[in-house]
Amino acid sequence: MEQSKVLAALSALSHEARLELVRLLIDAGDEGLPAGTIGQKLGLGASRLSFHLSALEQAGLIRSRRASRNVIYSVDRDGMGSTIGFLLHDCCREHPEVVACCHKRAQSDPADEG
């Protein structure tokens, strides 16, 4: 992945609402969620939601599709994985301690992280 694309993705993720939006869409899986549902769950008005969705979509982290009158959003797994992979493999050079921390975090109980 090109560094400029990674920087755009990291910039898009550096906002609290957008990070929460990605978490919500990760939980929604491949089915995704309609924009209205996302706005309700995150407490965002239509214009703010549209702004955040656009930033994430332009960064290649989410995708949209039309379903009747709704626009459904879901995480772009390739974009998300490429961004994380770039950090882990290119920036961190697969440093053993960094990789070990990733594995520890993945194996820990999310309830412990509050």
Q: Which domains does the chain have, with CATH numbers?
A: 3-113 (1.10.10.10)
pLDDT score for 110: 56
CA pair distance 37, 41, nearest whole angstrom: 6
Contact 64, 53 (CB under 8 A): yes
**pLDDT string in tens for the chain (114-residue length):** 788 999 999 999 999 999 999 999 999 999 999 999 999 999 999 999 999 999 999 999 999 999 999 999 999 999 999 999 888 888 787 777 877 787 766 666 554 554
pLDDT score for 106: 60
Rg over CA atoms, the chain: 15
Contact 25, 72 (CB under 8 A): no
Contact 49, 42 (CB under 8 A): yes
pLDDT score for 105: 61
